[in-house]
Amino acid sequence: MTNSIKEIAGADFILAIGTNTTESHPIISLQVKKAKRNGATLVVADPRRTEIAELSDIHMQLKSGSDIALLNAMANVIIAEEIWNKEFVSTRTEDFEALKATVAKYTPEYAEGLTGIPADVIREVARGYAKANNATILYTMGITQHICGTHNVFAVANLAMLCGQIGKPSSGVNPLRGQNNVQGACDMGALPNVYTGYQAVTVEDNRGKFAKAWNVGELPAKPGLTVGEMMEAAAEGKVKGMYIMGENPVLSDPDAHHVVHSLEKLDFLVVQDIFLTETAALADVVLPAASFAEKDGTFSNTERRVQRVRKAIDPVGNARADWQIICDVATAMGYTMSYASASEIFDEIASLTPSYAGISYERLEQGGIQWPCPNSGHAGTMYLHKDKFVRGLGKFNPVEYIPPAEQPDNEFPFVLSTGRRHFHYHTGTMTQRTGTLEVHYGTEFLEINPADAAAINVTEGEMIKVKSRRGEVAVQARLTDIVPQGMVFTSFHFPEVAINKLTNSARDPVAKIPELKVCAVKIEKAS
Amino acid sequence: MAEVTLTIDGLQVTVAKGTTVLEAARQAGVFIPTFCHDPELTRFGACRMCIVEIPGMRNLPASCVTEAAEGMVVYTESEAVIEARKTILELMLANHPMDCLTCGKNGECSLQDYAYLYGVKTESFGGEKHAYPLENDNPFIVRDMNKCILCGKCVRACAEIQGKNIVDFAYRGFDAKITPAMDVPLSASECVFCGNCVAVCPVGALQEKGLRSAARTWEVKKVKTTCPYCGTGCSFELNVKDNKVVGVTSCDGDVNGRALCVKGRFGYGFIHHPDRLTNPLIKKNGKFVESSWEEAIGLVAAKLSAIKANYGPDSLAVLSSARCTNEENYLMQKFTRAVLGTNSIDHCARL
Ligand code: SF4
Ligand code: SF4
Ligand code: SF4
Ligand code: FES
Q: Which residues of A touch B263 (CB under 8 A)?
A: 423-425, 431, 437
CB contact (8 A) between residue B270 and residue A430:
yes
**Tell me: the pLDDT tens digits for B188-207?**
889 999 999 999 999 999 99
**CB neighbours (10 Å) of residue B55?**
9
- Distance from the Cα of B139 to chain A's closest Cα (Å) equals 5
Query: How much distance in Å is there from the Cα of B37 to the middle of ligand 2?
Result: 12
A200 in B contact zone (CB under 8 Å): no
Q: What global pTM score does this model have?
A: 0.90
Domain chopping of chain A, boundaries: 5-176, 182-370, 414-525
B165 lies in a domain? no
A245 in B contact zone (CB under 8 Å): yes
Q: Which residues of A touch B221 (CB under 8 A)?
A: 312
| Residue A415 to residue A466: CA distance in whole angstroms | 11
First-to-final CA distance of chain B: 44
What does the buried/exposed string (b/e) look like for B275-285 if buried means 16 or more CB atoms within 10 Å of the residue's CB? ebbebbbbeee
B213 lies in a domain? no
Query: How much distance in Å is there from the Cα of B63 to the middle of ligand 4?
Result: 7
Is the C-beta atom of B196 inside 6 A of ligand 1? yes
| Residue % of chain A over a pLDDT of 90 | 48
**What's the pLDDT at B73?**
95
| Residue % of chain B over a pLDDT of 90 | 78
DSSP annotation of B338? I
Residue of the CA atom closest to atom 8 of ligand 3: B230
> Smallest Cα–Cα separation from B301: which of B279, B325, B280, B320?
B280
Cα distances (Å, whole numbers) of residue A55 to A59, A266, B309: 9, 49, 59
Mutate to test the pocket of ligand 3, among B140, B226, B234, B266 (most ligand atoms within 8 A of CB): B234
- Up-side HSE of residue A464: CA atoms within 13 Å toward CB? 26
Out of A440-449, A470-479, A495-504, B61-70, pick the least confident. Answer: A495-504
- Mean pLDDT highest for which of A61-65, A497-501, B82-86? B82-86
Under a CB-based contact definition with an 8 Å cutoff, are residues A283 and A300 in contact?
no
| Residue B153 to residue A337: CA distance in whole angstroms | 52
Under a CB-based contact definition with an 8 Å cutoff, are residues A34 and A7 in contact?
no
pLDDT at residue B174 is higher than 70: yes
Give SS3 for A49: coil
CB contact (8 A) between residue A337 and residue B281:
no
Residue of the CA atom closest to atom 6 of ligand 1: B197
Taking CB atoms within 8 Å and a gap of at least 24, the contacts of A236-240 are A237/A265, A238/B314, A238/B315, A239/A266, A239/B314, A239/B315, A239/B316, A239/B317, A239/B344, A240/A266, A240/A267, A240/A268, A240/B307, A240/B311, A240/B315, A240/B316
Q: Which residues line ligand 3 (CB under 6 A)?
A: A 25-27; B 227, 229-230, 232-234, 256, 260-261, 263-264
> Smallest Cα–Cα separation from A346: which of A378, A313, A319, A369?
A369
* Nearest Cβ partner for A316 among B263, B278, B350: B278
**Tell me: the pLDDT tens digits for A370-399?**
999 999 998 888 888 887 777 788 888 888
Domain A5-176 adopts which CATH fold? Answer: Dimethylsulfoxide Reductase; domain 2 (3.40.228)
Q: Which residues of A touch B288 (CB under 8 A)?
A: 276, 286
Residues B260 and B300 in one domain: no
- Chain-wide mean pLDDT for chain A? 87
Q: What is the DSSP string of B258-282?
A: T---HHHHH--GGGG-TTS--S-EE
**What's the pLDDT at A146?**
37
Under a CB-based contact definition with an 8 Å cutoff, are residues B201 and B153 in contact?
yes
Residue type at position A513:
I
Give SS3 for A121: helix
- Up-side HSE of residue A407: CA atoms within 13 Å toward CB? 7
Query: How much distance in Å is there from the Cα of A273 to the middle of ligand 3?
Result: 21
Is the C-beta atom of B141 inside 6 A of ligand 4? no
Q: Searching chain B, which residue's CA lies closest to the CA of residue A230? A: B317
Q: What is the DSSP string of A196-243?
A: GGG-BTTSHHHHHHHHHHHT-S----S----HHHHHHHHHTTS--EEE
Residue of the CA atom closest to atom 1 of ligand 3: B264
List, in sequence order, every beta strand (DSSP E) within A4-85.
Answer: 13-17, 41-45, 58-60
Pairing mode of beta strands B316-320, A241-245: parallel
CATH classification for the domain delimited by A182-370, as one of 1.10.3720.10, 3.40.50.740, 3.20.20.70, 3.90.870.40 = 3.40.50.740
Residue of the CA atom closest to atom 3 of ligand 4: B45
Domain A414-525 adopts which CATH fold? Answer: Barwin-like endoglucanases (2.40.40)
**What's the pLDDT at B325?**
96
Under a CB-based contact definition with an 8 Å cutoff, are residues B195 and B264 in contact?
no
**Tell me: the pLDDT tens digits for B213-235?**
888 889 999 999 999 998 899 99
Residues B248 and B303 in one domain: no
pLDDT at residue A356 is higher than 50: yes
Residue type at position B132:
Y
Interface of A with B in 76-135 (CB under 8 A): none
DSSP annotation of A168? B
> Smallest Cα–Cα separation from A5: which of A29, A24, A23?
A29
Out of A300-314, B109-123, B292-306, pick the least confident. Answer: B109-123
Which CATH number does the domain housing residue B246 bear?
2.20.25.90
Q: Which residues of A touch B337 (CB under 8 A)?
A: 195, 201, 210, 214, 219-220
pLDDT band at A497 (very low <50, low <70, confident <90, very high): low
Cα distances (Å, whole numbers) of residue A355 to A150, A180, A372, A456, A469: 14, 19, 4, 56, 45
**What's the pLDDT at A256?**
77
Helix axes B326-334, A342-352, angle to 10 degrees: 70
CB contact (8 A) between residue A189 and residue B301:
no
What is the maximum span of chain B, computed from C-alpha positions, in angstroms? Answer: 92
pLDDT at residue A514 is higher than 70: no
pLDDT at residue A210 is higher than 90: yes
Under a CB-based contact definition with an 8 Å cutoff, are residues A299 and A180 in contact?
yes
Mutate to test the pocket of ligand 2, among B154, B156, B160 (most ligand atoms within 8 A of CB): B154
| Residue A232 to residue A262: CA distance in whole angstroms | 7
DSSP annotation of A68? H
Is the C-beta atom of B153 inside 6 A of ligand 2? yes
Phi/psi for B110 (5° steps) reads -65, -35
Give SS3 for B209: helix
Under a CB-based contact definition with an 8 Å cutoff, are residues A189 and A349 in contact?
no
- Which of A299, A302, A345, A492 has the highest number of chain B CBs within 10 A, making it the mutation to test binding with B? A299
B319 in A contact zone (CB under 8 Å): yes
Describe the strand order of the beta sheet including A268-273 as a list of residue ranges. Answer: B287-290, B281-284, A285-288, A268-273, A241-245, B316-320, B345-347
| Residue A390 to residue A384: CA distance in whole angstroms | 9
| Residue A20 to residue A147: CA distance in whole angstroms | 20
Out of A219-228, A256-265, A441-450, B3-12, pick the least confident. Answer: A441-450
**What's the pLDDT at B318?**
96
- Mean pLDDT highest for which of A431-440, B13-22, B171-180? B13-22
Phi/psi for A494 (5° steps) reads -110, 115
Q: Searching chain A, which residue's CA lies closest to the CA of residue B269? A: A434
User: If you average pLDDT over residues A416-431, what whole number do you get?
Assistant: 75
pLDDT at residue B171 is higher than 70: yes
Residue of the CA atom closest to atom 2 of ligand 2: B201
Please state the ipTM of this predicted complex: 0.91
| Residue % of chain A over a pLDDT of 70 | 92
Please, what is the Cα angle at A302 between A506 and A88, to 5 degrees?
A: 90
> Smallest Cα–Cα separation from A492: which of B268, B348, B189?
B348
Q: Which residues of A touch B257 (CB under 8 A)?
A: none
**What's the pLDDT at B343?**
96
B170 in A contact zone (CB under 8 Å): no
Q: Which residues, 6+ apart, have CB-to-CB distance to A35 below 8 Å?
A: A8, A9, A10, A11, A12, A14, A42
**CB neighbours (10 Å) of residue A463?**
13
Q: Searching chain B, which residue's CA lies closest to the CA of residue A349? A: B330
Q: Which residues of A touch B314 (CB under 8 A)?
A: 220, 222, 224, 238-239
User: If you average pLDDT over residues A465-471, what whole number do you get?
Assistant: 85
User: If you average pLDDT over residues A283-305, what whole number do you get?
Assistant: 95
- Chain-wide mean pLDDT for chain B? 92
Q: Which residues of A touch B162 (CB under 8 A)?
A: 30
Is the C-beta atom of B177 inside 6 A of ligand 1? no
Q: Searching chain B, which residue's CA lies closest to the CA of residue A175? A: B351
Under a CB-based contact definition with an 8 Å cutoff, are residues A450 and A480 in contact?
yes
Helix axes B79-94, B110-117, angle to 10 degrees: 130
pLDDT at residue B295 is higher than 90: yes
Under a CB-based contact definition with an 8 Å cutoff, are residues B214 and B247 in contact?
yes
Q: Can you name the residues that pair with A137 across neighbouring β-strands?
A: A15, A173
Residue span of the structural domain in which B259 resides: 220-274
CB contact (8 A) between residue B319 and residue A244:
yes
**What's the pLDDT at B271?**
94
| Residue A519 to residue A504: CA distance in whole angstroms | 6
**CB neighbours (10 Å) of residue B161?**
24
Is the C-beta atom of B206 inside 6 A of ligand 2? yes
pLDDT band at A507 (very low <50, low <70, confident <90, very high): low
| Residue A67 to residue B118: CA distance in whole angstroms | 63
Of B93 and B332, more confident: B332
**CB neighbours (10 Å) of residue A455?**
11
Q: Which residues of A touch B270 (CB under 8 A)?
A: 274-275, 291, 429-431, 433-434
Distance of CA B4 to the CA centre of its chain: 34
| Residue A299 to residue A514: CA distance in whole angstroms | 25
Distance of CA A210 to the CA centre of its chain: 28
Which CATH number does the domain housing residue B20 bear?
3.10.20.740
> Smallest Cα–Cα separation from B328: which of A184, A467, A253, A19?
A184
**What's the pLDDT at A496?**
67
| Residue B25 to residue B76: CA distance in whole angstroms | 9
**CB neighbours (10 Å) of residue B312?**
12
Residues B262 and B302 in one domain: no
**Tell me: the pLDDT tens digits for A112-164?**
999 999 999 999 999 999 999 999 999 875 444 334 433 357 888 899 988 88
| Residue A271 to residue B58: CA distance in whole angstroms | 73
| Residue A122 to residue B36: CA distance in whole angstroms | 46
- Distance from the Cα of B197 to chain A's closest Cα (Å) equals 14
- Distance from the Cα of B147 to chain A's closest Cα (Å) equals 24
| Residue B298 to residue B296: CA distance in whole angstroms | 5
Interface of B with A in 210-229 (CB under 8 A): 210, 221, 223-229
Under a CB-based contact definition with an 8 Å cutoff, are residues B226 and B233 in contact?
yes
Domain count, chain B: 3
Is the C-beta atom of B4 inside 6 A of ligand 1? no
B156 lies in a domain? no
pLDDT at residue A242 is higher than 50: yes
CB contact (8 A) between residue B234 and residue A27:
yes
